[in-house]
């Protein structure tokens, strides 16, 4: 990060001491002579410039840390095989508010991005205490809870969001995903189908097709599952988990050659991706007479 001067605890203490010293010399002092008055003015200006410089350095450092978060997210996606929605909440715009809620919203977003879901939940809970019923805070809190598998709490927050923003497709597919995990299949189908009809967010539309495929796979409706996984791959060829699940739908539907084709395609698309690796693993399993796993 370079030899950047970081505002340490001792530096803060030093600046506060200087501020308190100047304040003490000003308090209760009437008729300060011109010479001392000019000196105090110069000290105040110098102190202000010092604080402003440190704030600028910290802001630059904060941006570098944010870039580290983005790099970590990329690495995380390459190591972990999960069907959970990829976090895609927009970075909140921080604005001055007398309650300070926006600061906690930004903290929550940053901590979700870094994978600190418990810390995010704490920050976003505080944001909602300061500014109740804020859809952005509720949506981010829902993400933090969903990624901790606190599905009931997350569902409640996403439902609050949808009450105020019915066209929020990302919140809707998250509700669909949670209903899938809770095996409430009818409600999952309702929300995911509506997200597809809305078609106002490419990522939401992509995941809505994928999760509908998973719903029908869980219900052993293999032809319907295959249809949705195929549509998913048309919309997002790099969503390799759809190739893996397409293989399972075909295998359990009796089309074993088609299943092998799907897994080979998934592995060929990206052999380093965790789902690409799972495609390779299942190919080895069936080649030796085994069965693919019934669960994802």
* 143 to 21, 75, 149, 174: CA distances (angstroms): 47, 20, 10, 8
pLDDT tens, residue by residue, 275-293 = 999 999 999 999 999 999 9
**Does residue 189 register a pLDDT over 70?**
yes
6 versus 238: the higher-pLDDT residue is 238
Q: Do 262 and 227 belong to one domain? A: no
Q: Do 223 and 263 lie in a common domain?
A: no
Q: In a 3-state reduction of DSSP, which class is residue 150?
A: coil
Which of 180, 210, 233 delimits the end of a domain?
Answer: 233
CB-based contact 241:81 (threshold 8 Å): yes
Judge whether 197 lies within some domain: yes
- Per-residue pLDDT for 114 more than 60? yes
- pTM (two decimals): 0.72
For residues 286 and 280, what is the distance between their CA atoms, to the nearest angstrom?
10
Give per-residue pLDDT as tens, 26-80. 776 555 666 677 787 788 888 888 887 777 777 777 767 766 765 655 555 445 6
254 in any annotated domain: yes
Distance between CA 134 and CA 142 in Å, rounded? 12
Q: What is the pLDDT at residue 2?
A: 41
Q: How many domains does the chain have?
A: 3
Last residue in a domain, options 233, 248, 275: 233
Q: H helices then E strands: how many in the chain?
A: 13, 0
Greater confidence (71 vs 232) lies with: 232
Nearest to 223 by CA among 248, 244, 253: 253
* Tokens 């100047």, residue located: 22
Which pairs count as long-range contacts for 105-112, CB under 8 Å and 24+ apart, including other chains?
Answer: 105/134, 105/136, 105/137, 105/140, 108/137, 108/140, 108/141, 108/144, 109/140, 110/66, 110/69, 111/144, 112/87, 112/140, 112/143, 112/144, 112/147
Residues 245 and 172 in one domain: no
Q: What is the mean pLDDT of the chain?
A: 85
Give me the CATH number covering residue 135: 1.25.40
Q: Is 100 in the same domain as 80?
A: yes
Give the pLDDT confidence score for residue 34 in this predicted structure.
66
Q: Within a 10 A sphere around the Cβ of 129, how many other Cβ atoms? A: 12
**Residue 49 placed within a domain:** no
Chain centroid to CA 12: how far? 32
Altogether, the residues listed in the chain come to a count of: 296
Judge if 211 and 268 occupy the same domain. Answer: no
* Residue 185 located in a structural domain: yes
In a domain, 14, yes or no: no
pLDDT value at position 138?
Answer: 95
How many beta carbons lie within 10 A of that of residue 208, not counting itself? 29
Contact between 167 and 200 (Cβ < 8 Å): yes
Residue range(s) defining the domain that contains residue 178: 166-233
For residue 214, tell me if it sits in a domain: yes
Residues 119-132: tens digit of each pLDDT: 999 999 999 999 89
83: left (phi > 0), else alpha (psi -120 to 50), else beta?
alpha
């Amino acid at each position: 990060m370079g030899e950047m001067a970081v505002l340490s605890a001792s530096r803060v203490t030093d600046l506060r001491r200087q501020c308190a010293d100047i304040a003490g010399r000003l308090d209760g002092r009437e008729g300060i002579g011109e010479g001392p008055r000019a000196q105090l003015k110069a000290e105040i200006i110098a102190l202000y410039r010092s604080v402003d410089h440190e704030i600028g350095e910290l802001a630059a450092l904060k941006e570098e840390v944010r870039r580290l978060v983005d790099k970590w997210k990329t690495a995380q996606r390459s190591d972990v095989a999960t069907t959970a929605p990829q976090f895609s909440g927009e970075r909140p715009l921080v604005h001055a508010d007398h309650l300070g809620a926006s600061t906690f919203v930004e903290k929550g977003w940053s901590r979700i991005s870094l994978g600190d879901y418990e810390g995010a939940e704490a920050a976003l809970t505080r944001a909602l205490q300061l500014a109740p019923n804020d859809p952005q805070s509720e949506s981010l809190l829902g993400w933090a809870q969903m990624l901790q598998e606190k599905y009931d709490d997350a569902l409640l927050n996403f439902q609050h969001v949808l009450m105020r923003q019915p066209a929020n497709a990302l919140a809707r597919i998250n509700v669909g995903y949670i209903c899938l995990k809770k095996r409430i299949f009818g409600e999952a189908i309702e929300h995911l189908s509506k997200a597809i009809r809305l078609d106002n967010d490419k990522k939401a539309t992509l995941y809505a097709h994928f999760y509908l495929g998973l719903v029908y796979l869980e219900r052993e409706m293999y032809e319907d599952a295959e249809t949705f996984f195929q549509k998913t791959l048309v919309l997002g060829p790099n969503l390799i988990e759809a190739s893996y699940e397409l293989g399972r739908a075909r295998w359990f539907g009796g089309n074993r050659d088609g299943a092998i084709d799907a897994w080979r395609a998934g592995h060929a698309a990206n052999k380093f991706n965790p789902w690409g690796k799972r495609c390779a693993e299942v190919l080895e399993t069936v080649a030796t007479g085994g069965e693919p796993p019934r669960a994802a």
